Amino acid sequence: MKQIKLTINDKIRKFEVNEKDSLLDVLRREGYKSVKSGCDNGTCGVCTVLLNGKPVKSCLIKAIEANNMSIITLEGLGDAETPDPLQKAFIETGAIQCGYCTPAQILSAKALLNKNPDPTEDEVRKALNGVLCRCSGYVRGVDAVKRAAAEMRGESLKQYQHIALTLPENTQDIDLPPEYYRKDGKKNPLPPIVYTPKEMDNVAVVGKSEIKVDAKKLALGKPVFTDDVHPEGMLYGALLTSPHAHARIKNIDVTKARSLPGVHAVLTYKDLPRVKFASGGQSYPQPLPYDQVCLDDKVRHVGDRVAIVAADTLEIAYQALNLIEVEYELLPVVVDMEQAMSDGVSVIHDEEDSIGIRDAQHNIVHHIDAEVGNVDQAFSEADFVFEGEYRTPKQQHVHLEPHVCITYFDEDDRLVVRTSTQVPFHIRRMLSPLINLPVKQIRVIKPRIGGGFGNKQEMLLEDLCAQLTMFTRRPVRMEYTRTQEFTSSRSRHANIIRYKVGIKDRKMTVAQLYLIGDTGAYGSHGLTVNMVGGFKGLTLYNPPNARFICDVVYTNTPPAGAFRGYGAMQCQYGMEVMMEEIANHLGIDVVEFKRENWLKIGETMYLSEQLGEGRKGVKQAMQSSGMQQCVEIGMQATQFKEKRDLYQNQDGRYRKGIGMAVVIHGSGIANLDMGAATIKMNDDGSFNLLIGATDLGTGSDTILGQIAAEVLGVPLDDIIVYSSDTDFTPFDKGAYASSTTYVSGGAVKKAAQEVRNQILEHAALMLEIPDVDLLELKNKQVISQDGRQLTLEEIALSSIHQLNQHQIGATASHVSPVSPPPTAAQFVEIVLDTQTGEVQVERLLMVVDCGRVINPITASGQVEGGMLQALGFALTEEMLFDEKGNPLNPNLSDYKIFRANETPAMDVIFVQTDEPTGPFGAKSVAEISIDGVSPAMASALHDASGVWMRELPYTPERIKAALQNHL
C-alpha cells in the first residue's frame, strides 16, 4: 500500500492505495460516485474526470500516477442552488436521458469551455467525442454545451422549447421553418417541431417540454444508480464463463478456489438445485421454453455460466475464478442458423428436462404458422409475384451502465434485490422458485437505470447474486464486465427474412413471410420477438391474404433477447426494401405505391388475432394515423422528389442518394400488458405518484407525472414521482413493448381522475355545495360557480385532519384491448464513395405520429437516440463469431457505435394525432424511432448507386463488393 495526496474538487485528500488501483477505483471507493465505470479500457469514457484541468479516462490511470495532482469530478462543479452553467444547460435542453454518461460529458465540455468560451459546433462535438452516449443522438448534448457557453459569455437565453405549429388541413400547404430544409448543409441541432391539428383539445401540462423530474439529480452526479450505494459488509461476486461454445463439463474442481483467503463461496452446478426457467422478463405464464438452470453441467456458448464466487474484494473474486479447474468435453459447434436445423447436426439442448422446445433434434425451439385469407389462390391470381431475401445481424445493446445487482437480507430476513432492471415485478416472480423463497420474502428495488434498450428485460445476474447471498447470508454485488455484456447478456436476434409478395392492380393482395430467427443458445424472447416481426412485417401493408411461417433456432452463440425494435425493425426492413424494389421493377413512383398500400385508418389488422405474442390475440383496427402527413412533411423538408430527380444518372466517385421508408410499431401488448399507479395527496396539496413503471432513461417518470398533473390541475412540480419498488409501488409489467406512455399512462390517468373526483367531493363538503358538477379544479384550486375558492392545500388539510377525515388517494390499473400503431416516415441523405464503399450520412429526419406528444423534447430525445442506434444497425454494428463460436469483436473498439463527431444532422418532426384509446391521445414513441433507418439507407444507397443491398450492416466492404458486381 502507498499513500497518495490528491486535491479533489479543491480539497486535499490523502489515501492509502494499492499499486494496481486505478484512479477510477479510488475515486469511487472514496465516495465520488459521479465517476462511472463502463468498460475498463478507456473506450466508453464514462469514467472521465479532469486531471490538472484536462479530461482523462480515470480507468486508464493508476491512482499513484495521479499523486499530488488536482482532480475535478462532477461533485465539484456546482450544487442544487448554484449549478454550473453546463449542469443547468444539460437540464434545460433535455440532454440527459439515462444520465450515466452525463458527468463525463459535462466534464469534457467544462475543459473545452475553460479554454475556449466560444467553441464552434465541430469543436463541441470533438470535445464530447471521448464519451459514448447510447441513449441520445448527441443532439441535445451539443446544444447544451453551446447554450452554457452562451450563458457564460453573458448572452441572454430564451427558454428552451420545441416549436409548436398548427397542422394545415392540406399538408402540401405546410410552411416549414426555413432551417428545416437544411439548405446550408450544417448539422446544428434544431428543436423538434410539433404539428397539431386544429381540432385537438388544448392541454396545460401535457404537451409541454417540461424539464425531466430526474434531470437535476443526474446533472449533479448524485449517487442514484444501483452500484452507487453499497450495504455494510458487502461481498463481491464474480462469474466464471465458458471459453467454449459447446461442451460438457466433465469435471469441475473448486478446492483451490474455496481455500483462497477472502473467498466466502464458490458455487457450481453441483451446489444448486436444478430448477428450469426462462430468463426473459415477461408476464405470467412465462412463454416457453424453460431451457435454463442457474448453473448447468453443460455450456452452450462462449460466455455461458460455469461457476460463481463471492469474496471480500473483486480482486480476490477474480483470483478465485482463475483457481477453478474445469475439464471440458468439447462438442461440435453450430453457429449458422440454417445449418442448425439440418439432420444429424449437433443438438444444443439434448437434456431431458427442458420444457417447450419444439424439435430439439433440429435445434428448432419454436415453429410458428399463421395465415389469413386464401394465400395460394391470391398468388395464383396476382399480376406479379416477387420474392426477396434479406438478412440482419446480431446487434448488442451497449447500454453504458452494465448489468449490476446487489442482494442482501434486511432486518426482517427478507431478501432485497437492488438491481438495474426494466422488469422489477417479473424479476421477483421469476426469482422465487430458483432460490426457494416465497415471493413475499423478496423485495426488488429498481434504482436509476443507466440504459437498457431491452437487455435489462432479462434476469441475468439477479438469480446468481441471490444464490450467493442465500449461501453466505451476506450482501453480494455482481456486475458484468463489458466483455460479458457481449458474451453473456443478450442481443438482437439475427434474422433471415424471405418475402413473397403478390401484386394485383398495384395493390398488395397477398404476402408470405418465412422468417428464421437465431435465438442463440437459449430461447428467452425467441417466440415473441419473431412473432412481433411477422405481425409488423405483414401488417405494414396489411394484405388480406397473408401467411407467416417462422422457425426460431438455437445456435452456439450468446442468446438473443429483447432489443428495442423487437423483431419489427428486422421484418419491416425487409418489407420496405422489397416494396421499393417492386416499385422500381414496375416503373412506378415508390411513394405513391406505398401510399396506395400502407395500413390505413379503419382497416382491420388481419393477423392481429393470430399473432398475439404467445397467446390468442384480438382483432384490432387502426384508429389513428398520421402516416400520410408524416410522408408529405418529410418529403417537403428533404426536397425528396427534387433530389431524386437531381441524383439520376450521376457519375464520378462521390454520389449522393436520398432514401425514405415508412414504418409502424405498437403501443404495448393488447390484453396482456398491465400497468398500475397509486396517487395520494399530501398536506400541502402536492401528490405522490407511485408507479411500478421503470424509467430507463426514456423520461417516463416525467411524462407519467405530466399526465397526473394535467388531470389534477397542478404543475408538474407538485407531483413527486417514485418508481419502482415491489414493496411500495403497485404492479407494472415494466418498461418494454413501447407500453409505458400508453399502458402505464392509462393507469396514471385513471388514478388521477379518481383522486380528482375525491378532491371535488371533499371541496363540495367543505363549501356545502350539493353537486360536484358546480365545481372546477384548475391551477391548484377548486372554484365554485358562486366564486368561492379553496386551495388544494386547504382541501388536503381538511381531509386529513378535520372534516370527514380520510386519505385522498387512489390506485388504478390499466390494460388495453388494442395496441395502436404509431406511424412514421424516415428519411436518410448520404454521399457514397464508390471507390471505398464508405457512406457519409448527411442527414437523418424522422417525422413521427406518436399520437399526442406528452413531452416534445423528451420524445425527440427518444427519436434521435433511436435513429442513431438504427444507424449503427444499418452501417456498422454486427456481433461477429468464428466457426467455433468465438466472438471476434466483444469490445467497444472493434464493435463500432457512433461518437459525437461522427453523427449526421438529426431532425425530428412530430405530427400529432388523437388516438382515441390513449391517454390524452398518446401512442408510443420509444421503439418506432429505430425501425426506419435501415430500409431508408437501402433506399438511399440504391438512389446513389443503383444497387440493392439486402444484408445488413452496409459496411464499406459489403458495399464495395456489391458495387464491383454492379458498376
Q: Which residues bind ligand FES (CB under 6 A)?
A: 97-101, 133-136, 400, 451, 697
User: Could you tell me which residues come within 8 angstroms of residue 36 by beta carbon, excluding any fewer than 6 positions away?
Assistant: 46, 47, 100, 101, 103, 104, 225, 400, 401, 450
Q: Which amino acid type is present at position 240?
A: L
Shortest Å distance, C-beta 896 to ligand FES: 16
Question: Across the strands, what pairs with 445?
Answer: 418, 725
3-state helix, strand, coil in the chain (%, to 5): 30, 25, 45
Minimum Å gap between C-beta 215 and ligand FES is 11
Q: Based on CB atoms, which residue is closest to ligand FES, 59 or 249?
A: 59
Residue (132 or 764) nearer to ligand FES, CB: 132
b/e code 343-365 from CB counts within 10 Å (16+ = b): eeeebbbebeebebbbebebbbb
CB of 632 to ligand FES, least distance (A): 33
CB of 861 to ligand FES, least distance (A): 9
Short-list 952, 955, 964, CA closest to 391: 952
In the bound state with ligand FES, the residue whose beta carbon lies nearer, of 399 and 474, is 399
Instruction: Give the Cα separation of 684 and 595 in Å (integer).
Output: 54
Q: At what angle do helices 462-472 and 424-435 cross, to 10 degrees?
A: 50
Helices (H), 696-791: 700-712, 745-767
Kindly tell me which of 97 and 279 has the beta carbon lying closer to ligand FES: 97
Nearer to ligand FES, 144 or 496 (CB): 144
Residue type, 676: A
CA distances, 930 to each of 180, 291, 400, 501, 661 (Å): 21, 30, 18, 25, 12
Three cell numbers at 630? 408524416
Per the DSSP assignment, residues forming a β-bridge with 678 are 690, 811
Residues 6+ apart with CB under 8 A from 323: 254, 256, 257, 260
Residue type, 425: F
* Residue 698 vs 826, nearer CB to ligand FES: 698
Nearer to ligand FES, 99 or 533 (CB): 99
Residue 708: what are its φ and ψ, rounded to 5°?
-65, -45
Grid cell, residue 706, equals 405530466
218 vs 552, which CB is nearer to ligand FES? 218
Strand 905-911, strand 193-197: pairing: parallel
Q: Report the chain's C-alpha Rg in angstroms.
A: 28
Pick between residue 38 and residue 517 the one whose CB is nearest to ligand FES: 38
For residue 93, what are the contacts with CB-CB under 8 A and spacing of at least 6?
Answer: 140, 141, 143, 144, 147, 160, 857
Give the count of alpha carbons within 13 A of 646, CB side only: 10
Query: Dihedral, CA atoms, 610, 611, 617, 619, nearest 10 degrees?
Result: -70
Cβ closest to ligand FES, residue 62 vs residue 216: 216
Give the separation between CA 898 and CA 133, rounded to whole angstroms: 9
Whether cis (ω within 30° of 0) applies to the bond prior to 724 is yes
Residue 136 or 572 having the CB closest to ligand FES: 136
Q: What is the rounded CA–CA span in Å between residue 31 and residue 851?
A: 44
* Residue 451 Cβ vs ligand FES, minimum distance, rounded to whole Å: 5
Rounded-to-integer distance, Cα 593 and Cα 583, Å: 7
- Which candidate, 843, 655, 657, places its Cα nearest to that of 184? 843
Q: Which is nearer to ligand FES, 46 or 962 (CB)?
A: 46
| Shortest Cβ 129–ligand FES spacing (Å) | 14
- For residues 805 and 797, what is the distance between their CA atoms, to the nearest angstrom? 9
Q: Chain-centre distance of CA 651, in angstroms?
A: 40
**Closest distance to ligand FES from the beta carbon of 46 (Å):** 7
Q: Which is nearer to ligand FES, 398 or 445 (CB)?
A: 398
Tell me the closest approach of the beta carbon of residue 220 to ligand FES, in angstroms.
15
Min dist CB 868 to ligand FES, Å, is 11
List the beta strands (DSSP E) in 254-321.
263-267, 298-299, 305-311
CB of 73 to ligand FES, least distance (A): 17
Compare residues 36 and 208 and give the one whose CB is closer to ligand FES: 36
Q: Residue 165, Cβ neighbours under 10 Å: how many?
A: 15
Q: How far is the CB of 900 from ligand FES (least distance, A)?
A: 11
Minimum CB–partner distance for residue 120 and ligand FES (Å) = 23
Select 78 or 141, whichever has its Cβ closest to ligand FES: 141
DSSP characters over 898-918: --GGG--EEEEEEE----TTS
Report the C-alpha dihedral over residues 79, 84, 85, 91, rounded to 10 degrees.
Answer: -40
Q: Do 326 and 298 touch, CB atoms closer than 8 A?
A: no
Query: Which residue, 28 or 134, is less far from ligand FES as judged by CB?
Result: 134
Least Å distance between CB 132 and ligand FES?
A: 7
Which one, 97 or 392, has the nearer CB to ligand FES? 97
Q: How far is the CB of 400 from ligand FES (least distance, A)?
A: 4
Least Å from the CB of residue 239 to ligand FES? 24
What cell numbers appear for 839 in the block?
457512406
- In the complex, what is the shortest distance from the CB of residue 100 to ligand FES, in angstroms, rounded to a whole number? 5
- State the nearest-atom distance from the C-beta of 105 to ligand FES, in Å: 7
User: In the bound complex, what is the minimum distance in angstroms from residue 564's beta carbon to ligand FES?
Assistant: 13
Cβ nearer to ligand FES, comparing 21 with 695: 695
Half-sphere exposure of 80 (CA within 13 A, CB side): 5
